[in-house]
Structure 1
Amino acid sequence: MFSSVVMGLASTGPAYSLAATLGIIVAGVGLQAPIVTMLAFVPMLLVAYAFRELNASNADCGTTFTWATRAFGPRTGWMGGWGLIVANIIVMASLAQIAAAYGFRLMGLDALAENRLWTTAAGVGWIAVLTVICYVGISLSVVVQRWLLCLEVVMLILLAVAALVRVYTSPPPTAIHVSASWFNPFAVPSVTAMTSGILAGVFIYWGWDTAFSVNEETVDSTRIPGRAAVLSTVLLLVMYGLVSTSAQAFAGVGTSGIGLGNADNTDDVFSGLGEAVFGSHGTGLFLSRLLILMVLTSALASAQTTILPLARTVFSMAVHKAVPSRFARVHRRFLTPTWGTIGMGVASIALFVLLTSLSQNVLADSIDSVGLAIAFQYGLTGFACVWYHRKILTRSVKDLVFKGVLPGLGALFMLLLFLYATFVVYADPRYGTTAVDLPLIGRTGGVTVLGLGALLIGFLLMPVVTRGHSVALKLQRSLLPRRLPPHAAVDSASRYLPADSGSGVGGDWYDIIPLSGTRVGLVVGDVLGHGIRAAATAGRLRTGVRVLARLDLSPDELLSRLADLVEQTTHEDETGRGPGHLKAHADAALGVSCLYAVYDPLSGECSMARAGEPVLALVEPHTGAVDYPQLPPGPPLGIGGLPYQSTELELAPGAVVALFTNGLLQAADDREAGLAQLSQVLCDDRRSLEELCDRAVATMLPGAVDVDATMLLVRTRLLAQNRFAQWALAPDPAAVATIRSAVGKQLGDWGLDDAAFTTELIVSELVTNAIRYASGGPIQVRLIRDRTLTCEVSDTGHTAPNLRHAASDDEGGRGLFIIAQMTHHWGTRYTSTGKTIWTEQDLPQPDRQ
């Protein structure tokens, strides 16, 4: 906790921030500088709660990038990460310049402090040293920060107390007594002045979120960073309120001498203030030099803690494939992001050299433009918190306030601040030190051009870096059912949640497959890996399941055939690479989980088998009791091992069957806790399936989705007695005439007289073949009236008929060919007692409606 607070405070660089911005605030709002400084605390605290709640749900060093991605998608997440990168790299240039100048002043080399070449060289050196410290490890970084911060805080308090004592004992000519009017925000001259002042105030608080950027390296990562951030902002409020009040009381707001309104002191109010407060001889000289050292160490501490979040944000973006994957490499010994740390150090040096070579004015305006990037990033995080937790805001008053109201207010404040500052305050060509003539717009303030232009560069890069995720998601969506077809056997509903990260779209799929005899096939599956390959593999396997299911294979046999398909595909991929190529990609179809079930609405029986670890839940009708039946274990597809086994369950009409992948349980503490939580949702089986799906997703996955999650819900039905008829026949040729008459009568009762001739011919041919070729066992005939008219003839034989073109001199072989021409579909399925040959005929249009 202490180290996290140190990180948060040190990253803001209290002494550096006040030295660089207090003069700007005073120039804008005058004597109301203390209250404006304190008002800037409010949106910071609100946004800190957003960070805290998001971190509690998902502790990821990518912070805004990761959370915005999961709330709004990869494009918005990329912009959040880019905003943080822009702010950190630009502020590194300012920090390097301050550190270089104060380093020379500490040694009494004031001439070198004003020399652009020497300050640039020294600034580059400081960035390089701090990059090495960050690279060696976060433990060393924390030790350095503790000493630097302690010196900084002690000197700030000493300066504030000494200044106030001087004001009321031996005041300088500029001194003014503290007044209650200083804390009246309504005395600020204008809205523009207030906006400029608060935006500068936002800058001095910025940096406490470093505690979240190192969350994955923090003990109790879901709670400590949040507490540290809130505590850091409160401590900063006290410190800034005290120092700004004492400095204004001592130096005044005049435009000459040590006055805070003096333009010459705008970028450094402490260099002259130190000697004036402490004196220039003896102890006073020592303390004034110590104050210079304090600003130097503050700039160095802030620079170091700027490299830390910058490197870790880039690291997280690389893990999620938003930037090149080499930035995700971690040093084996130091356990720090190698390319992330070094790369960001190099980028900071490059920008610093570029800006100083162009103009000191450009560098000054670039510092102001950091506020725009800060407001953009923090505002986006606040909105992400509200949207991320939208499904659970009504769960309690605490959730509503801390996950919704406070972050939402902080986000709105930052949005308004960003828009007003960008297009009103900073766009004025008279603001700042530079202006640019833009086509079609005209002369525009340099701060707006730099700040908004840097964000627009990220917007232009966005389609390139998010293309992979978008293509994978579109492919995955196109391979899933657009809508579940209505079926006589079941009512159905489904949900598919792709992983939220840039590389997260995976290979989950689900399907409902109409089978012969009004039966229905239910399937969920999960392919290991992410990205386009995993999505394509899932599509290939879904197609394979549909083809095999239409062969009326039993669940265990279907999984065996599907496993052969997976092994064959993997073998082809490996042999196609050759000896000099890498092994099969991790997204290849190895270790695929799949659950396949077949439900028969005539008998209420459900046969199922599994490969891997998909989960099945059964909800009893009326009682709402939830059970998780133990299915026979089966190895994941493509792995090999034990043979697959089918199991039979008898389902009551109205029972709810839930098939889902393990991704649905990812947010739970463990598997058992997740299943218990899901049971509480499913037990209310009186709700519609769509409501149950929504409640399950909101309860089980209220926030982050690290891996794909799929859920398929069905409510079973039994086919009404008046929708089918069945007869048992002896294997006697005389039975053919009997069954023809029975079928004709049944069709007449159903009002399907037009189909009588064709159906009688079909039944006659199938029954005759069963009598001729079967082994003499009983024959079953069944008619089913649904969207089609199904005719089934079952016998004890195991030899399937073959469709062929009979020659002119053949005595047989024409019957099945005629049946195929007169029906829409026909096929054979095998049972434990023999086989069933079935046909489907299209019904007349009125019966379809």
Structure 2
Amino acid sequence: MSGSRPAPGSEAGRKGLRGNSLGLFSSVAMALASTGPAYSLAATLGIIVAGVGLQAPVVTMLAFVPMLLIAYAFRELNAGNADCGTTFTWATRAFGPRTGWMGGWGLIVANIIVMANLATVAGAYGYRLVGLRELGASRLWVTVAGIVWIGVLTGICYVGIHVSAVVQRWLLCLEVAVLLLFAVAALVRVYGDPPPTAIHVSASWFNPFEVPSAQALTSGLLAGVFIYWGWDTAVSVNEETVDSTRVPGRAAVLSPVLLLVLYGLVATAAQAFAGVGPTGIGLGNGDRSDDVFSGLGEAVFGSHDAGLLLARLLILMVLTSALASALTTILPLARTVFSMAVHKAVPARFARVHRRFLTPTWATLGMGAASVALLVLLTSFSHHVLADTVDSVGLAIAFQYGLTGFACLWHHRKVLTRSPRDLICKGLMPGLGGLFMAVLFVYAAFVVYARPGYGAGTVDLPLIGPTGGVAVLGLGALLVGLLLLPVVTRGHSTALKLQRSLLPGRLPPQTACETASRYLPADSGSGVGGDWYDVIPLSGARVGLVVGDVLGHGLPAAATMGRLRTGLRVLARLDLAPDEVLTRLDDLAEQTAQERAPAPGHVPGRTPPPADESMVTCLYAVYDPVSGWCSMARAGGPPPVAVDGDTGVARGLDVPPGPPLGVGGLPYRTTELRLAPGTLLALFTGGLLQAADGQEAGVRRLADVLADRRAPLDQLCERAVGALLPGAVDEDATLLLARTRLLDRTRLAQWEPAADPAAVAALRGSVGKQLDDWGLAELAFTTEVIVSELVTNAIRYVGGPIQVRLIRDRTLTCEVFDTGRTTPNLRHAASDDEGGRGLYIIAQMTHRWGTRYTPTGKVIWAEQSLSPPA
């Protein structure tokens, strides 16, 4: 759509929706209106009575308990991550993208099914309101009216959240006022002018132990869960609410409490007035089970003058209740799909936001169209679509709410012992709510609803046999999401697999330092891919330490990361200075960006290839264990943190930030500093600080964790990740720890021979003696040849001063320092050439050789492999 644009970001509050549009009152109104109190009671009170009889009032109240427990789960999760994806986002953060997808799918299924349900109620009551009862009994005309209502309500949601909130407030006030008037009038009639069906309120109605059976209680509770369902709309619009981390949670907890009072009063009054008989206005009348208010209005208020007006008002109330509930069903449905699209769980087209209204465009219109399609489908095949969908929706609700409760418990598991409040509000209450919903779901789906004949019909399933239609509808809808799971999570799984395959399989031991690392992939397809770390062995026992972050996501970012990591390893092995490595890596990143740029014939309006992968942050450090000096350069990203090996004082290192790779700008600068033995060096990407209140606060918290510098590095990594990222993460995070060492002086030998060819013979003797002392006499001949050739070349082409150094590490390294700046070239000498064979011979006799530059000249080095110790 020309009036829409992609969501600018995936983080909570940064998706481009209209923020600060709703206050606490509007949020509570949204939550209450979404439950549709009048519609919910009209559609389910008869079903509850059919299952539990006179205990219907207490069952409606008992259903409040798990709702309150789950409301606390929503409140605590929203406080930490106010994302409009709610269950999808939170379950993804807690359990991974597969579980998160099923949580989001459960919410989609429940909302789309209930939209068909609400449209049916609105269509039927619309005709009754104007006296066209015959049309209200026609499936065709009710379906037509339902489609029209869905279109109108979808348009209201499309225009904006503010318009929706205003409509909700007026509809809700009318609805609650008429419900209270109905309840009071019914009770007055019972005790003043009772109809033949009236029965006095009894204490036994509120005794759950008088429910006929556990099966009846389960069926009643599941229907009771349905009448409370919808309060979580207040949390689904959290990104458009004032104080998004607090107000939606308060509204979520307050709404079920208000509903408890309203439902208890109305259910008691309706049962006392109409009774539970199977005929007439009795709540046990099967012909009225899907609409108990259809005849109660005239019975309570009378059919003359003011009574007739109030009876019509009751019909209008059910109509407006269904409309308000449908309106607030589209809102969370569209925002859940919108968040799933932003996080790459559904097609990206659903992540577009209207430029003017700041509402999800394709998500809102698409879900409206899906609701229309399901309405037509269900009314074509089922004569009792209302009753069947109410029961089947209960399964989807129990699944979604139960998953949210467990996600809250698991997400906060590391902080439950912090205080009694955390234990109760973040652990005990959500866990019990999740357990209750899980038991309810399993028992209802496989014991109650699966019974042949339950609901409107029975389906003969292959290998299973006759099964209740409600179970088939409810479980079948969830099964569709399970079948789609491999498709929608394939991108995340592939990107994560590629990302992990490109990272080091293990960190090889180094003499220069002890290392440990942690890589935490993001929990959604929108976050994974891009971070990397590396430990690169260099000549002279030195080591290169790297952390980097490609600022994109998914497969392109992981592929870019792989190219840059490979390029950096090649550049590092050329013994280039850190600033020069980053400069050349910047060229590689820029070239990659140019290759990915749109072609000249790119069609306007089409989405160009992602450009974020061209921006990369990188920190490269080289530590020399012989001198204790560390040189490093930074291309964006946070600076490293060092904990002094002697004093234990932690500090952020002042490494000048260069521009990210791939964007150009100021040149990079190398910073050199001496590190005491035992210094703890922490290199990390910005993702490690994502949960902190700013970079400075995150660095301070990291420094506090690393203060115990002598603890094992793996343990410090775990502590740091646990302190900085107590829950799941929205973007990749990488931490690399290195504890420095100085090379043992017994493993180093050095000489400064005179710039005289006669000194070479004495030097060969000294080298042979040193190797004999190290127990490496078998390498004496080769090493003497290497030393002789390199020193002779230095004397011949450069002159003095000259320094020779032997390093016994995991290899035997021979280094010759001189003041020349010319790099020797390896070439194949012709048969009649008198020279040019020296480096060729050295290359054949050694494992590796190379040249690196120093401030005063260059070093030519050659390594020989050592047999590993027995």
**Length-normalised TM-score, structure 2:** 0.95
Instruction: List per-residue Cα deviations over 1:753-812 (Å, max 9, x = no partner).
Output: 2222222222222222222222x2222122212221111111112222222222222222
Q: What letter is aligned with 2:504?
A: P
Contact 2:633 2:669 in 1 (8 A): yes
Corresponding residue to 2:309 among 286, 289, 292? 286
Taking the aligned partners of 1:569 and 1:45, their CA distance within structure 2 comes to 53
Match of 1:627 in 2: 651
Contact 1:48 1:230 in 2 (8 A): yes
Structure 1: unaligned runs, 5 residues or longer: none
Q: Structure 1 residue runs of 4+, over 4 Å off?
A: 575-584
- What does 1:752-771 align with in structure 2 at a 5 Å threshold? 752-771=776-795
- What does 1:97-108 align with in structure 2 at a 5 Å threshold? 97-108=120-131
Taking the aligned partners of 1:551 and 1:465, their CA distance within structure 2 comes to 43
Taking the aligned partners of 1:653 and 1:442, their CA distance within structure 2 comes to 74
Match of 2:227 in 1: 204
In structure 2, the CA distance between the partners of 1:844 and 1:706, relative to structure 1 (3 Å rule), is closer
Contact 1:574 1:583 in 2 (8 A): no
Taking the aligned partners of 1:828 and 1:8, their CA distance within structure 2 comes to 71
Contact 1:356 1:363 in 2 (8 A): no
Contact 2:383 2:456 in 1 (8 A): no
Contact 1:589 1:638 in 2 (8 A): no
Q: What letter is aligned with 1:560?
A: T
- What does 1:230-269 align with in structure 2 at a 5 Å threshold? 230-269=253-292
Match of 2:214 in 1: 191
Taking the aligned partners of 2:298 and 2:369, their CA distance within structure 1 comes to 37
Corresponding residue to 1:436 among 456, 459, 463? 459
Is 1:692 matched up with 2:716? Answer: yes
Contact 2:290 2:386 in 1 (8 A): no
Instruction: List per-residue Cα deviations over 1:721-749 (Å, max 9, x = no partner).
Output: 22222222221223222222222222222
Taking the aligned partners of 1:594 and 1:135, their CA distance within structure 2 comes to 43
Taking the aligned partners of 2:230 and 2:438, their CA distance within structure 1 comes to 19
Contact 1:57 1:704 in 2 (8 A): no
Match of 1:595 in 2: 619
Taking the aligned partners of 2:143 and 2:706, their CA distance within structure 1 comes to 65
Offset of residue 838 of structure 1: 1.3
Q: What letter is aligned with 1:747?
A: L
Instruction: List per-residue Cα deviations over 1:185-231 (Å, max 9, x = no partner).
Output: 22222111111111001000000011111111111111110000100
Q: What letter is aligned with 2:270?
A: A
Q: What letter is aligned with 1:721?
A: R
Taking the aligned partners of 1:30 and 1:583, their CA distance within structure 2 comes to 59
Is 1:784 matched up with 2:812? Answer: no
Match of 1:585 in 2: 609
Is 1:271 matched up with 2:291? Answer: no
Instruction: List per-residue Cα deviations over 1:364-415 (Å, max 9, x = no partner).
Output: 3133101111111111111222222233333333222222221111111111
In structure 2, the CA distance between the partners of 1:765 and 1:503, relative to structure 1 (3 Å rule), is same
In structure 2, the CA distance between the partners of 1:343 and 1:393, relative to structure 1 (3 Å rule), is same
Match of 2:146 in 1: 123
Match of 1:743 in 2: 767
SS at match of 2:456: coil
Taking the aligned partners of 2:337 and 2:349, their CA distance within structure 1 comes to 10
Offset of residue 492 of structure 1: 1.1
Instruction: List per-residue Cα deviations over 1:271-327 (Å, max 9, x = no partner).
Output: 222222222223222222211111111111101111111111111122222222222
Offset of residue 439 of structure 1: 0.6
Taking the aligned partners of 1:119 and 1:768, their CA distance within structure 2 comes to 100
- What does 1:484-495 align with in structure 2 at a 5 Å threshold? 484-495=507-518
Is 1:328 matched up with 2:351? Answer: yes
Q: What letter is aligned with 1:315?
A: F
SS at match of 2:325: helix
Instruction: List per-residue Cα deviations over 1:153-183 (Å, max 9, x = no partner).
Output: 1111122222222223333332222222222
In structure 2, the CA distance between the partners of 1:583 and 1:542, relative to structure 1 (3 Å rule), is farther
Taking the aligned partners of 1:574 and 1:269, their CA distance within structure 2 comes to 63
Is 1:834 matched up with 2:857? Answer: yes
Match of 1:479 in 2: 502
Taking the aligned partners of 1:539 and 1:732, their CA distance within structure 2 comes to 49
Contact 1:318 1:326 in 2 (8 A): yes
SS at match of 2:750: strand
Corresponding residue to 1:398 among 401, 411, 421? 421
Contact 2:120 2:386 in 1 (8 A): no
Instruction: List per-residue Cα deviations over 1:315-341 (Å, max 9, x = no partner).
Output: 112222222222222222222111111
Match of 1:728 in 2: 752
Taking the aligned partners of 2:611 and 2:746, their CA distance within structure 1 comes to 50
Offset of residue 578 of structure 1: 5.0
In structure 2, the CA distance between the partners of 1:503 and 1:787, relative to structure 1 (3 Å rule), is same
Contact 2:186 2:270 in 1 (8 A): yes
SS at match of 2:820: coil
Match of 2:11 in 1: none
What is the aligned length?
846
Contact 1:23 1:261 in 2 (8 A): yes
Match of 1:147 in 2: 170
In structure 2, the CA distance between the partners of 1:324 and 1:575, relative to structure 1 (3 Å rule), is closer
Instruction: List per-residue Cα deviations over 1:334-359 (Å, max 9, x = no partner).
Output: 22111111111111111111211223
Contact 2:93 2:729 in 1 (8 A): yes
Corresponding residue to 1:681 among 697, 705, 716? 705
Taking the aligned partners of 1:393 and 1:696, their CA distance within structure 2 comes to 18
Is 1:609 matched up with 2:663? Answer: no
Contact 2:518 2:735 in 1 (8 A): yes
Taking the aligned partners of 1:394 and 1:658, their CA distance within structure 2 comes to 29
Taking the aligned partners of 2:600 and 2:748, their CA distance within structure 1 comes to 55
Offset of residue 622 of structure 1: 4.6
Corresponding residue to 1:654 among 678, 686, 692? 678
SS at match of 1:537: helix
Contact 1:533 1:588 in 2 (8 A): no
Corresponding residue to 1:567 among 586, 590, 598? 590
Contact 1:518 1:601 in 2 (8 A): yes
Taking the aligned partners of 1:838 and 1:55, their CA distance within structure 2 comes to 59
In structure 2, the CA distance between the partners of 1:353 and 1:572, relative to structure 1 (3 Å rule), is closer
Taking the aligned partners of 1:137 and 1:588, their CA distance within structure 2 comes to 30
Contact 2:123 2:136 in 1 (8 A): yes
Offset of residue 588 of structure 1: 5.6
Offset of residue 704 of structure 1: 4.9
Structure 2: unaligned runs, 5 residues or longer: 1-23
Is 1:527 matched up with 2:525? Answer: no
Is 1:51 matched up with 2:74? Answer: yes
Contact 1:594 1:614 in 2 (8 A): no
Match of 2:737 in 1: 713
Contact 1:528 1:587 in 2 (8 A): no
Percentage of pairs with the same residue:
76
Taking the aligned partners of 2:186 and 2:134, their CA distance within structure 1 comes to 28
Q: What letter is aligned with 1:807?
A: A
**Length-normalised TM-score, structure 1:** 0.97
Taking the aligned partners of 2:518 and 2:329, their CA distance within structure 1 comes to 41
Match of 2:183 in 1: 160
Q: What letter is aligned with 1:707?
A: E
Taking the aligned partners of 1:500 and 1:844, their CA distance within structure 2 comes to 44
SS at match of 2:524: coil
Match of 2:324 in 1: 301
Taking the aligned partners of 1:96 and 1:657, their CA distance within structure 2 comes to 62
Taking the aligned partners of 1:225 and 1:235, their CA distance within structure 2 comes to 15
Q: What letter is aligned with 2:437?
A: M
Instruction: List per-residue Cα deviations over 1:587-624 (Å, max 9, x = no partner).
Output: 46433211110001111110111112332111112532
Contact 1:195 1:417 in 2 (8 A): yes
Match of 2:662 in 1: 638
